[in-house]
């Protein structure tokens, strides 16, 4: 098992890619700290991780709340003694064209997708530096590379996550901490539930593989990047889009 004896925090782990990542890490032997705003989803994913044979703990936390994040990390360190991996997966969308986007919509996305990543990473950093080792994995998006109509706020936040990744990999690499990002394309998660069928079909048609990605396929990338198999990968942004941007 690639992540045996590792302790991993996964934010936004209540559903979709986050839940798949938490379960994958559990299957790979990690102790998993499941974080999400939905308490029922947290308990469900914690249960699934334990059924996979892993230790797991759950926290209901708003990643945009700096003090709540710091408290969650402190409790995880108290319970498990260390944090080896942080997956900054939590994210939201509040889509609108630029001329219609409200300041509230812009700020909500920035608070979760950008500031939340900053809060969580700072919260784990001292312990990782003391260990002389750690892995930070950030969720970007193909939208953060190429932009997308109606997603000024989301695109900006995901561009920003790439900036974090490039900067932190330089700062933290000498301290034994690797920082990488994953940029998924169209992934079949609950966030797509409100999209009309004809729009989903158009999305599929834009992908050379002619299908949406599966959360488990992104989780597999995170598991690889978190493992020692990826020990020389640092500062990378790995696009996983089925070739949609070719």
CA 124 to CA 73: how far, in whole Å? 7
Rounded distance, CA 56 to CA 50, Å? Answer: 6
Nearest to 152 by CA among 83, 205, 94, 104: 94
Q: Please give the pLDDT value at position 194.
A: 66
Domains of the chain, each with CATH number or no CATH: 7-239 (3.40.50.720)
> So what's the pLDDT on residue 195?
72
Per-residue pLDDT reduced to its tens digit, 155-206: 999 999 999 999 999 999 999 999 999 999 999 988 777 677 887 888 899 9
Q: What is the 3-state secondary structure (H, E, C) of 113-180?
A: HHHHHHHHHHHHHHHHHHHCCEEEEEECCCHHHHCCCCEHHHHHHHHHHHHHHHHHHHHHHHHCEEEE
Tell me, what DSSP letter sits at residue 81? S
CB 36 within 8 A of CB 72: no
Q: Which of 230, 12, 7 lies closest to 139 in space, CA to CA?
A: 12
Contacts of 86 (CB under 8 A, 6+ apart): 8, 9, 11, 120, 121, 124, 134, 135, 136, 137
Residue of 146, 154, 222, 232 with catalytic role: 154
pTM as predicted: 0.96
Per-residue model confidence (pLDDT) at position 221: 98
In which residue ranges of the chain is pLDDT below 50? none
Nearest to 33 by CA among 52, 53, 49, 10: 10
Helix axes 116-131, 66-80, angle to 10 degrees: 30
Beta partners for residue 243, in sequence order: none
Residue 105, C-beta contacts closer than 8 angstroms, at least 6 positions apart: 94, 96, 153
CA–CA dist 230, 3 (Å, integer): 12
Residue pair 121/86 in contact (Cβ under 8 Å)? The answer is: yes
Q: Are 13 and 45 in contact (CB under 8 A)?
A: yes
Structure tokens at 204: 């599929």
Task: Please say if 154 is a catalytic residue.
Answer: yes
């Amino acid at each position: 098992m690639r992540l045996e004896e590792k302790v991993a925090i996964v934010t936004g782990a209540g559903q979709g890619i986050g839940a798949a990542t938490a379960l994958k890490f559990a299957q790979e032997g990690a102790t998993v700290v499941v974080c999400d705003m939905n308490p029922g989803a947290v308990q469900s994913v914690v249960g699934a991780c334990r059924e996979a044979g892993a230790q797991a703990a759950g926290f209901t936390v708003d990643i945009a709340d700096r003090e709540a994040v710091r408290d969650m990390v402190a409790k995880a360190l108290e319970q498990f003694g260390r944090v080896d991996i942080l997956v900054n997966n939590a994210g939201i969308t509040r889509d609108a064209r630029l001329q219609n986007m409200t300041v509230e919509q812009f700020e909500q996305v920035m608070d979760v997708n950008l500031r939340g990543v900053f809060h969580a990473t700072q919260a784990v950093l001292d312990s990782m530096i003391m260990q002389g080792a750690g892995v930070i994995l950030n969720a970007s998006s193909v939208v953060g590379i190429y932009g997308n109509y109606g997603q000024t706020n989301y695109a900006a936040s995901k561009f920003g996550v790439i900036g974090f990744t490039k900067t932190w990999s330089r700062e933290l690499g000498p301290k034994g901490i690797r920082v990488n990002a994953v940029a998924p394309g169209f992934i079949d998660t609950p966030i797509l539930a409100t999209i009309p069928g004809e729009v989903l079909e158009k999305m599929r048609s834009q992908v050379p593989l002619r299908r949406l990605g599966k959360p488990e396929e992104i989780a597999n990338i995170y598991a690889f990047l978190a493992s020692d198999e990826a020990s020389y990968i640092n500062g990378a942004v790995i696009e996983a889009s089925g070739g949609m941007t070719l």
